[in-house]
Structure 1
Amino acid sequence: MSHHGISSAKRASALSSSWKNYLFVLPILLFMLVFVLFPIIYNITLSLQDVNVYNFKKAHHFAGLENYIETFKDPVFYTAFRNSAVFTVLSLLFQFGIGFALALFFNRKFPGRNLMRSLMLLAWMLPAVITASVFQWMLNGDYGVLNFILHGLGIIDQPHSWLSDNRTSLLSTVVANIWIGIPFNMIILLTGLQGMPEQLYEAAKLDGANRLKQFRHITMPLMRPTILILIMLGIINTFKVFDVIFIMTAGGPVNSSNVLPIYAYQLSFTKFQFSQGASVSMIMFIILILIAIVYLRMTSKEEAQ
């Protein structure tokens, strides 16, 4: 066989191997196109049209930014946005704080550590629907166990409707969401702590550094990438929480616990204003994209340093 024939055969073999590699990637590409890219494009298109229950099967005219303008004119949008921000910040603050404390605790060696750590994961393994239903029962104003305990301790004189009071409804859902998120934060942070080199701590001890200085100058700087990833994932997961709040309060009473995902649901499937509901979803999507951009800029600066 000539040199030209051998080269052609090699190119054909490389091309065939390349196509085989693409075939392995094809299922995930199809999944991304059907379940990620298509819904996003469809939602963008829907938000720019005038689609409601009356003209759903008819031709839809282009509405431009009218749905977004109507959304920004609605005072409920700002209530839902404020509640989403409060819900996200409080949830992340306590999930991270308690999760970090537990991670530091379980990073120490003691009898029964693995068993206790496994039990901690139960709150995360349970479906959010079950956890929300349990908290709804616990915080019920008529037969809730929380009122029973507080009344027995003499803290309250009469039962309190935690989920029906606009002063405590949002905080009640925050407590439930904190309970769900603590194990996830603990596991991620514990994984980061267990990857710490022991030599650094031994050297710090020889230099006379106490536990607080070791935590400040060794643990926190080395845990910074893990913490950034955890906060980023926490913001995304918490900002779009729907099931916990919907089961416990459905956004009430009087929108006191209404958040953007429930507000979008109400517009689309209660008021049947599909396009305006899509516009709220797009606003949420843009907010999360901006947060992701900030995270990527922060991580790029970390890598540069």
Structure 2
Amino acid sequence: MTSLPVTSNTSGKTRGAFLLDRGVGPLLVLPATILVVIFLVGPFYYMVYTALTDLSFADATRKGAFVGFDNFRRLMRDDPLFWNSFLLTLKFVVVAVAMEFVIGFALALLIFKYVVRQRLLTTLLLIPMMLAPVAVGLIWRLLLQGDFGMVIYYLRAVGLLAQNAAVLSQPDLVFPAIVAIDIWQWTPFVTLVMLAGLMSLPRSPFEAAMMDGAGPLRIFLDVMLPLLRPIIALVLLLRGIDAFKEFDKVFIMTGGGPGTLTELVSIYAYRVNFRNWDLGYGAAVAFMVYLVVLILCSVFYKAVYWSAKPSSGLPAGAKP
């Protein structure tokens, strides 16, 4: 019998190394680089350039002349509507993200400790967060409709809402309503991420703490939370950025009303750009949104980096 020749892939590896050595590597990433420049870098620099002009489609005398930082000075000094929307957005982010984290973390702990078959439950938890924000806005707009909304009907039936009142048109109810809807949609995300973090924790620190006589509260505070700190920072970062950019649901449900009670900064930027057609000033507003998101990213990145570098054998973030 004649044996078949044994082939090896050394020639392929040599050919690949040869191509990289000859400078072909940059050509391989060129298509992705072009897409990034076209869809990310290009629009960003155009936004910055437009923010330095007086471009307006509603005023024929403002054709895009360079005005420097006049739009930013006007934004910081002479626009109370912007600051109202900015502070309202911060309030929305703090309240919604804090409630989502507390409820989501509590649900994750309950599922981790007491639920045996977790796959079905986690699949059901995915449903709200998998819905498109526009669909969520339309669904809740119908459920909270003042004349025939199902939720409104039951709230009136149990006496929690007056007969002539509607949630989305009541000044004292509309903001809690949009916060509650955001909590309904995104708490499952926090639950699933924190549940994954709990499942990945090592057992040895908990066993050592129990052998030292630590109770459940001390184990939770001194062992579990320090180990989960990077995951907590990641969850807060992702939800904080997403909540600060919230637009779809609120715009579909209220359009920023009644008045400006739910006019988040993203809705205000939309109104300046696409209703008033003040594109130069609107670009400055959009840049401020980008700047705040960048600051959030920097803060939470430092939190994750700090918690990931324990020193002197102490738990992450602890001081000697």
Q: How many angstroms apart in 2 are the aligned matches of 1:237 and 1:157?
A: 34
Measured after TM superposition, the shift of residue 148 of structure 1 is 1.7
In structure 2, relative to structure 1, the CA distance for the partners of 1:227 and 1:152 (3 Å cut) is same
Of the three residues 177, 186, 189, the one matched with 1:181 is 186
Per the alignment, residue 292 of structure 1 pairs with 297
Specify the code of the residue in structure 2 equivalent to 1:222: L
Q: Are residue 133 (structure 1) and residue 138 (structure 2) matched? A: yes
TM-score by length of 2: 0.85
Q: Are residue 167 (structure 1) and residue 172 (structure 2) matched? A: yes
TM-score by length of 1: 0.89
Please list, as runs of the form range in 1=range in 2, the aligned pairs for 1:136-285 lying within 5 A after superposition: 136-285=141-290
Q: How many angstroms apart in 1 are the aligned matches of 2:308 and 2:222?
A: 19
Specify the code of the residue in structure 2 equivalent to 1:85: L
Measured after TM superposition, the shift of residue 253 of structure 1 is 1.0
- Is residue 55–residue 63 contact of structure 2 (8 Å, CA) maintained in 1? no
Q: Deviations over 1:253-291 (max 9, x none)?
A: 111100111101000100111111111001111112222
Q: How many angstroms apart in 2 are the aligned matches of 1:14 and 1:285?
A: 43
SS of aligned partner of 2:272: helix
In structure 2, relative to structure 1, the CA distance for the partners of 1:113 and 1:294 (3 Å cut) is closer
Q: Are residue 39 (structure 1) and residue 43 (structure 2) matched? A: yes
Q: CA RMSD, aligned part only?
A: 2.3
Specify the code of the residue in structure 2 equivalent to 1:34: I
In structure 2, relative to structure 1, the CA distance for the partners of 1:203 and 1:152 (3 Å cut) is same
- Is residue 56–residue 62 contact of structure 2 (8 Å, CA) maintained in 1? no
Q: How many angstroms apart in 2 are the aligned matches of 1:94 and 1:33?
A: 38
Per the alignment, residue 65 of structure 2 pairs with 61
Q: How many angstroms apart in 2 are the aligned matches of 1:157 and 1:53?
A: 45
Per the alignment, residue 71 of structure 1 pairs with 75
Aligned positions, number? 295
Specify the code of the residue in structure 2 equivalent to 1:31: L
Q: How many angstroms apart in 2 are the aligned matches of 1:155 and 1:16?
A: 70
Give the share of equivalent positions with the same residue, in percent. 29
Of the three residues 72, 95, 104, the one matched with 2:100 is 95
Q: How many angstroms apart in 2 are the aligned matches of 1:136 and 1:54?
A: 32
Per the alignment, residue 55 of structure 2 pairs with 51
- Is residue 128–residue 188 contact of structure 2 (8 Å, CA) maintained in 1? yes
Q: How many angstroms apart in 2 are the aligned matches of 1:178 and 1:56?
A: 44
Q: Which has the larger helix fraction?
A: 1
Q: How many angstroms apart in 1 are the aligned matches of 2:309 and 2:152?
A: 54
